[in-house]
Amino acid sequence: MKFVLFGNIYQAKKSQYVLHLCHLLERRGVEIGMTSDFYRFLSEELHLKLPAITVVDDDNIEADLAISLGGDGTFLKAASLVGSQQIPILGINTGRLGFLADVLPEEMDEAFDEIFQGRYCTEERSVLQVTPQSGRLTLNPYGLNEIAVLKHDSSSMISIHTSINGEELTTYQADGLVVATPTGSTAYSLSVGGPIIVPHSRTFALTPVAPHSLNVRPLVIDDDAVISLRIESRSHNYLVSVDGRSESLCEKTELTVSKASYTVRVIKRENHHFFSTLRNKMMWGADVR
């Protein structure tokens, strides 16, 4: 078997987890691949003595399983590189909250025992795609969490003319608009007042960022809907953000947001469930009186 490792190059203090993981996989006869930026960070900056590792090209990754060692941001990077190839991803959390990367470092041995025994489940997570109606984006247009349009270099809000399946919805006067998958409902969308959505509900959420009107609220729609966005801005530009990666666009660039043709496969331990994650990581329903 071949596993490919993605890691956070800003977590020097947590590098001991990488060595433990590599030796754990080596003992099991796994061929280990690693992205070039993570390998350089470990070998050249931290001077770690790594076992036999194959450095892989971001544009040509082949593996039976991908391992994300970091926080949810590292997981999103892995998903952007291998998600369309249907390579399942396991997230080991060395970050903070960790909704996607939910295996703790001290659980690695137990988690891999379960994986090699086939005692795990694979969840299919929907993905968003953003398409400009003219030209093309330089960034990867696929988002596991969300796609957002945001004001750019002005303090003035933007106008976001929004249609769903060709039917006018409304014009958002706001700092931006977040279109989130169920997976992303606990990320940026939640931080600006969006709803928490169960992962397999087959819906998307539209959540405005700092709307000018109290009459505008988050909206949940079917995930087979096609969302059209036309933006007006005093600065004549705006930002489109895909899972935290952003690009500046001219206000004349209209966007279409829809469900992608593929899903991201997320590996979960058998005893890890969404509602328990809500309770444990977000203190859901906790009485702190």
Q: What is the pLDDT of residues 108-153, one digit of tens each?
A: 999 999 999 999 999 999 999 999 998 889 999 999 999 999 998 7
* Contacts of residue 267, Cβ cutoff 8 Å, sequence gap at least 6: 65, 88, 89, 90, 91, 115, 120, 121, 122, 123
Task: Mark whether 93 and 82 lie in a shared domain.
Answer: yes
Structure tokens that stand for 281 in this block: 């990581």
The total number of structural domains that make up the chain: 2
Does the pLDDT value for residue 15 go beyond 80? no
CATH code: domain of residue 185: 2.60.200.30
Evaluate whether residue 30 is within a structural domain: yes
Question: Of these residues, 37, 58, 64, 72, which one is catalytic?
Answer: 72
Is pTM beyond 0.75 here?
yes
77-108 confidence digits (pLDDT tens): 999 999 999 999 999 988 776 778 888 899 99
Same domain, 98 and 221: no
Crossing angle of helices 108-116 and 16-27, in 10° steps, is 30
Half-sphere exposure of 117 (CA within 13 A, CB side): 9
User: How, if at all, do strands 89-93 and 65-70 pair?
Assistant: parallel
220, with CB counted inside 10 A (0-12, 13-18, 19+), is: middle
If asked whether residues 145 and 220 sit together in one domain, one would say yes
Q: CB count, 10 Å around CB of 92?
A: 27
The answer to whether residue 25 sits within a structural domain is yes
Range of the domain at 62: 2-125+263-282
* Domain match, 65 and 172 both: no
Query: What is the pLDDT at residue 50?
Result: 86
- Tell me, yes or no, whether 269 lies in a domain: yes
Q: Are residues 152 and 197 in the same domain?
A: yes
**What 3-state DSSP class applies to 208?**
strand
- Where is 121: in which H helix or E strand? strand 120-125
Q: Is 223 a catalytic residue?
A: no
Task: Return the closest-CA partner of residue 223 out of 264, 179, 254.
Answer: 179
102 assigned to some structural domain: yes
Record the tokens describing residue 192, joined without a space: 């600006």
